[in-house]
Amino acid sequence: MTEGGAADVRPLRFLQLERNCRVSGGSTFALLLAQALVQHGHAFTYAAGGGPLWARLQECGAVHLRSPGWPLSIPVVARHIRRRRPDTLICAGRGRARLSAAHLARRFGIPLVSVFQDPLLPEQSLSELLCSDALVALEPPIHAAFLERGVPPERVHLWPRPIRCRDIVEPPTDGTRILYLGRLSGGKWQAAASLARIAPELAATVPALQVNIVGEGRYLSDVRALAAEANAKVGREAVRVHGETTDPLLWIEEASIVVAGGCGCFEALYAHRPAIAASKAWYGQVTRSNAAHALECHFADRCERPVDDTLLREALLDLARALADPCAREDVTPRRAWFAEDHSPAATATRMEALAKSLLGRQPGTTRPRRHQLASQTFTLSAVGSSISTSYVGRSMRCDPGLVGLSSASSPKKSPPSLRAEACPIA
């Protein structure tokens, strides 16, 4: 509190560390959080490699600190920390970026907030989790896993997953536009492939059908080949395959029906677009009655039933018929009121502000040892690939296959500590 009892409204300085600016869960979370925090008057810096989201971060007023990769970026980010003195470090990714964030947090005595969007890995130990001052789970099962592994409840927070949201735009009326939105890699490309295969049958039943497939991945060429076969059967370009997008809402607003899994499906529902949850697994149409359960399954991403051409075709035909019927259209059109909690980025920014202020209010040393206490601490980090030697800001670091060895035996000015999550002290 300031003089006169007024609340402290000093702008906060946030620094998020991630792998790169490619479209992924961590970078998308950073973009949504950065946009909202900057609108609230705070400063946001994103330390990561390049990627298509770099321009979007700049547009919203965030600073992109270009880094060559972790842990090689540690000296670059350390120099930024010494100059800008951020109040809170954030990490929403996995692997070396998270461990590097833990090292920097301990080195400079800055609170670290780790955001988990996916289930915990078996190798993620309690000592690694306790390297963070606060753990934010975006799904109830992740929150439960923290407690099961022994994380103190006061460090664990369950937040609604932030979702892109803008003013509602009415769907198009010139025909039926079906959108697939998602990655075309791993198993998630199966829904896109299935949609391309059944397009000729849909075109024979659904008037003025247009299918758009938006995504990027190793199977992009395979999906393009399936689309070409479908178009040859239909006799026109009924299926179009587009690349990656940094603003999915632009495509969702032009769609009548969306086929997607995970956040893509959730964004469609939040934009009042009927959606079928399917990616690498099948859930089906999301309705008012099953919306809460679909959210628990992260809209097919936590399901196991495989995507099937017949299932997808019947679901799309049923949904198209309902949309064509004025009496049934309202029953199949989603509403944000289906979801009890506020998933807007603004709400997430408010939660982050409150959490950051609570961490700043703690007495030094209550959450982690400060820099002068780190002489005996050693951290290690697994690395994959060939040996790499390089030097940044006068500090030499060597990456060997299987281990990144950053010796801490001598002065920190000569060589910063290496990263080993297992050696993090349990506070």
224 and 83 in one domain?
no
On whether residue 417 sits in a domain, the answer given is no
Q: Given a cut of 80, is residue 366 above it in pLDDT? A: no
β-strand pairing of 13-17 with 88-91? parallel
Confidence of residue 362 (pLDDT cuts 50, 70, 90): low
Burial of 343 (0-12, 13-18, 19+ CB in 10 A): buried
Total number of domains constituting the chain: 2
Q: Given a cut of 90, is residue 7 above it in pLDDT? A: no
89 and 33 in one domain?
yes
CB atoms within 10 A of CB 265: 28
Q: Considering only residues 135 and 57, tell me which one the structure prediction assigns the higher pLDDT.
A: 135
On whether residue 394 sits in a domain, the answer given is no
Q: What share of the chain is helix, strand, coil (3-state, %, to 5)?
A: 40, 20, 45
- Per-position b or e across 350-370, b if 16+ CB within 10 A of its CB: ebbbebbeebeeeeeeebbbe
pLDDT at residue number 412: 42
pTM beyond 0.85, yes or no = no
Q: Given a cut of 70, is residue 408 above it in pLDDT? A: no
Q: Given a cut of 80, is residue 42 above it in pLDDT? A: yes
CA 176 from centre of chain = 30
d(CA 258, CA 266): 10
Q: Given a cut of 50, is residue 303 above it in pLDDT? A: yes
On whether residue 365 sits in a domain, the answer given is yes
Closest CA to 286 of 148, 195, 24, 296: 296
351 and 334 in one domain?
no
β-strand pairing of 403-405 with 257-260? unpaired
pLDDT at residue number 187: 86
Closest CA to 83 of 71, 73, 75, 91: 75
On whether residue 99 sits in a domain, the answer given is yes
13 and 157 in one domain?
yes
Instruction: Check the CA dihedral 300-305-309-312 and report its sign.
Output: negative
Q: What are phi and psi of 90, to 5 degrees?
A: -130, 140
Burial of 106 (0-12, 13-18, 19+ CB in 10 A): buried
Tokens of 176: 């039926």
On whether residue 212 sits in a domain, the answer given is yes
Q: What are phi and psi of 180, to 5 degrees?
A: -100, 130
pLDDT at residue number 78: 96
Which of these ranges, 34-43, 52-61, 227-236, 357-366, has the smallest mean pLDDT? 357-366
| Average predicted confidence (pLDDT) for the chain | 83
88 and 9 in one domain?
yes
pLDDT at residue number 262: 93
Which of these ranges, 11-20, 136-145, 309-318, 370-379, has the smallest mean pLDDT? 370-379
Q: Which DSSP category does 10 fall into?
A: P
278 and 232 in one domain?
yes
Phi-psi label, residue 77: left if phi above 0, alpha if psi -120 to 50, beta otherwise = alpha
184 and 89 in one domain?
no
Local structure of 233: helix, strand or coil: helix
Closest CA to 62 of 94, 84, 79, 93: 84
Q: Give the CATH number, domain containing residue 75.
A: 3.40.50.2000
Q: What's the mean pLDDT in 2-23?
A: 75
- The count of residues in the chain is 427
pLDDT at residue number 266: 96
Q: Given a cut of 80, is residue 373 above it in pLDDT? A: no
99 and 46 in one domain?
yes
- The residue segments making up the domain with residue 246 are 176-338
Q: What are phi and psi of 18, to 5 degrees?
A: -140, 175
Q: Considering only residues 395 and 1, tell me which one the structure prediction assigns the higher pLDDT.
A: 1
CA 254 from centre of chain = 24
Reported as a single tens digit per residue, the pLDDT across 129-164 is: 999 999 999 999 999 999 999 999 999 999 999 999
Q: What's the mean pLDDT in 323-349?
A: 91
Angle of helix 189-205 relative to helix 220-234, nearest 10 degrees, comes to 10
332 and 187 in one domain?
yes
Phi-psi label, residue 350: left if phi above 0, alpha if psi -120 to 50, beta otherwise = alpha
Task: State which of 338, 368, 400 marks the end of a domain.
Answer: 338
d(CA 156, CA 152): 7
Q: What's the mean pLDDT in 84-92?
A: 95
d(CA 89, CA 333): 40
Burial of 318 (0-12, 13-18, 19+ CB in 10 A): middle
Angle of helix 96-108 relative to helix 74-84, nearest 10 degrees, comes to 40
d(CA 11, CA 43): 7
Q: What's the mean pLDDT in 69-95?
A: 91
Give percent above pLDDT 70 in the chain.
82
Q: Given a cut of 80, is residue 406 above it in pLDDT? A: no
Confidence of residue 345 (pLDDT cuts 50, 70, 90): very high
Reported as a single tens digit per residue, the pLDDT across 177-197 is: 999 999 998 888 999 999 999
